[in-house]
Structure 1
Amino acid sequence: MLTILDLINHYLGYFTTNSKTKGRIYTVVGTVGIWYLLYLAYRFFVNGRWLRGTLIAAVFLLLLYFVILNIFYYFTQRTMKWDVSPAIEKVLGGHQEEKNESTAERVIMPANGLYSRQNVMSGTVESDVQQQQNINFLAAEMQQLDLIATDYGHFGEQAQRQIIAQQGVIHANHPGTLLPYFAMQEENGKLKIFGGINQLQSRELGDVTMVGLTPTAQAIMNYRLVVASAVLTGGPSHIATRSELIDEMQPYKIKIEIAYDHI
Structure 2
Amino acid sequence: MFSFLDMINHYLGYVNLNVKLKNRIYTILGVLGVIYLLYVSVRWIKNGFALRGSLILLVGLILAYFSIMNIFYYFTDKQAPLDISPKIEKALGKTLGGNEQAHEEAQYSREQRGNSLLNGANIPANGYFDSKKILPGKVAVSPDQSSNIAQLANQLQQMNLMTPNYGGLGSRELAQQLNKNKKPVYAIGLGVNIPYFELKQDGQQMVVYAGMNQAQKAPMGRITTVGLQPIEDVYDKVKLYLANVILVGGPYMVMGRNEPIEKQAPYTIRVQLAYEREKKVHTHQAEPEPASHTVSHASSATNQPTSRMRRYH
Query: TM-score normalised to the size of structure 2?
Result: 0.51
Matches within 5 A, 1:23-62: none
Tell me the equivalent position of 2:247: 232
Matches within 5 A, 1:1-263: 74=79, 96=101, 99-100=104-105, 101-102=107-108, 103-106=111-114, 107-108=116-117, 109=122, 110-153=124-167, 156-157=173-174, 158-163=176-181, 165-166=182-183, 169-263=184-278
One-letter amino acid of the structure 2 residue matched with residue 74 of structure 1: Q
Which structure 2 segments of 5+ residues have no match? 1-61, 81-99, 279-313
Quick check: which has more Rg, 1 or 2?
A: 2
- Alignment partner of 2:216: what SS? coil
- Alignment partner of 1:148: what SS? coil
1:116 positional shift: 2.6
Deviations 1:192-217 (A, max 9, x none): 00011110010001101111111011
1:232 positional shift: 0.8
CA contact (8 A) 1:153 1:175 kept: no
Deviations 1:27-60 (A, max 9, x none): xxxxxxxxxxxxxxxxxxxxxxxxxxxxxxxxxx
CA contact (8 A) 1:99 1:159 kept: no
Tell me the equivalent position of 2:89: none
Q: Is the alpha carbon distance of 1:146 and 1:261 closer, same or farther for their aligned partners in structure 2, counting shifts above 3 Å?
A: same
Q: Is the alpha carbon distance of 1:229 and 1:143 closer, same or farther for their aligned partners in structure 2, counting shifts above 3 Å?
A: same
- Alignment partner of 1:195: what SS? strand
Deviations 1:91-116 (A, max 9, x none): xxxx6456541553324343101223
1:241 positional shift: 2.1
1:149 positional shift: 2.2
Structure of greater relative contact order (alpha carbons < 8 Å, 6+ residues apart): 1
Q: Is the alpha carbon distance of 1:197 and 1:241 closer, same or farther for their aligned partners in structure 2, counting shifts above 3 Å?
A: same
Q: Is the alpha carbon distance of 1:128 and 1:135 closer, same or farther for their aligned partners in structure 2, counting shifts above 3 Å?
A: same
Which structure 1 segments of 5+ residues have no match? 1-14, 25-71, 76-94
Deviations 1:206-243 (A, max 9, x none): 10111111101112133221111111112221112242
- In structure 2, how many angstroms separate the alpha carbons of the residues matched to 1:73 and 1:216? 51
- Alignment partner of 1:125: what SS? strand
Query: TM-score normalised to the size of structure 1?
Result: 0.59
- In structure 2, how many angstroms separate the alpha carbons of the residues matched to 1:183 and 1:204? 10
Q: Is the alpha carbon distance of 1:143 and 1:179 closer, same or farther for their aligned partners in structure 2, counting shifts above 3 Å?
A: same
CA contact (8 A) 1:136 1:252 kept: yes
- In structure 2, how many angstroms separate the alpha carbons of the residues matched to 1:212 and 1:162? 30
Identity of aligned residues (%): 27
One-letter amino acid of the structure 2 residue matched with residue 120 of structure 1: I
CA contact (8 A) 1:149 1:177 kept: no
- In structure 2, how many angstroms separate the alpha carbons of the residues matched to 1:136 and 1:142? 10
1:140 positional shift: 1.4
Tell me the equivalent position of 1:7: none
Aligned pair count reads 179
